[in-house]
Amino acid sequence: MKEISEKERLLAAICGGKEIDRPPVICPGGMMNAAVTEVVAKIRGNHNVSKDDMVEAAKKMHELTGFENYGVPFCMTAEAEPFGVRIDFGDKNREPVITDYNERPLSEIMSDYNDGYLTAFRIPVVLDAIAELKNDSIPVIGNIMGAVSTATSVVDPLRLFKLMRKNPGEAYDFIEFINDKLASYAAEMVRRGADLIVVSDPTATGEILGKVNFEKFAVPMFKKLVSEVHSLNSMIIIHICGDTTNILESLNLIGADAYSFDSIVNIKNVKKKINAKTMGNVNTQLLQDGPVERIITLTDNCIKSGSDILAPACGLGMSTPIKNLKAMTDCVKGE
């Protein structure tokens, strides 16, 4: 078989049309990132804040771990930052976190927002990093938090969950307001050079929302993101955390090109029920703690289960060692 690039392999694994030698092995970034402490230790600045350090971290992740992609950003907070929250930007040992929610009424947050999302705070930093990482052989992934998770980063999650029960219309309007900004962000990522978009929405799960609210509040938002990305002839992967048993069929309403699953999910069962490619799902606790032999066994099991794209099952701990990640990527590559 003619040798293909990492970009060609990943895109072919998602959309078909070209024979590939094996599944690609990636770690997209965002909540599923491999910019662990050992990878970023020698970077001078904060890879979550500085464009140059973000680009350097993405390249080091690819070089040191064997994952076949670049992906930015490396956190779950950039999307919420323009909406009046406070953030601890983390460091080489800690990922960024929201420290203070916006406590204003939702109607005021929406009505008083000055529409400049793509030029606010770290959004342009991420976009500039994507533009600099753009290349012909290594896929560049733009990472976005989904609307429900972003909304519950802007305001206290309990506040929004109560509103979903008591005033679902107001909750829906707020989540849709957030989602419209995210859709424009995804589109701009593609325009700047992202080869595909990965959306992670850890709050929008069947376990947290239930099937009814997942279809009411999450599915329409995902569909808008998918439509926006597809309109630019690009592709989109959606990561769903936790046990998806009660929402598997609901995923077919969304139209994403591929879905990523947590380690609790049986990929063989998933492939019988969804009309899309699958990504996953090597246990992240095992990747952090080892042993290497068990990582290799589990990675091989994921391949045999039919994962179209191999990836960690969820977010990696910052203390995950490079050697453990290499055990996974080398196994997929047959090295």
| Residue 100 pLDDT class (50, 70, 90 cuts) | very high
pLDDT at 328 over 90: yes
Task: Specify the pairing of strand 86-88 against strand 70-72.
Answer: unpaired
- Give the domain extent around 303: 6-333
Q: Is residue 2 scored above 80 in pLDDT?
A: no
Q: Is the pLDDT of residue 335 over 90?
A: no
Q: Is residue 1 part of a domain?
A: no
CA distances, 79 to each of 110, 144, 159, 178 (Å) = 15, 7, 19, 9
Using the Cα atoms of residue 267, residue 270, residue 271 and residue 277 in order, give the sign of their dihedral. negative
pLDDT of residue 1: 61
Would the pLDDT of 42 be above 70? yes
- pLDDT, one tens digit per residue, over 101-152 is 999 999 999 999 988 999 999 999 999 999 999 999 999 999 999 999 999 9
* SS3 state of residue 261: strand
**Cα gap 103→253, rounded to integer Å:** 33
Count CB neighbours of 335 within 10 A.
8
Summarize the confidence of residues 175-182 as an average pLDDT. Answer: 98
pTM of the entire predicted model: 0.96
What pLDDT sits at residue 114?
86
Q: Give residue 47's pLDDT band: very low, low, confident or very high (50, 70, 90).
A: very high
Cα gap 270→244, rounded to integer Å? 9
Query: Which whole number is the average pLDDT over 29-35?
Result: 93
146 domain-assigned: yes
What share of the chain in percent tops pLDDT 70?
A: 100
Distance CA 4, CA 134 (A): 18
152 contacts 160 by C-beta, under 8 angstroms: yes
Examine the pLDDT at 319 and tell me if it is beyond 80: yes
- Number of domains making up the chain: 1
Give the burial string for 112-127 (b: 16+ CB within 10 Å, else e). Answer: eeeeebeebbbbebbb
User: Does 109 reside within a domain?
Assistant: yes
pLDDT digits (tens, 9 = 90+) for 193-243: 999 999 999 999 999 999 999 999 999 999 999 999 999 999 999 999 999
Average pLDDT over residues 81-88: 97
What CATH number is associated with residue 103? 3.20.20.210
- β-pairing, 97-100 vs 86-88, is antiparallel
pLDDT of residue 17: 73
Q: What is the DSSP letter of 84?
A: T
In a domain, residue 312? The reply is yes
Contact (Cβ atoms closer than 8 angstroms) between residue 220 and residue 177:
no
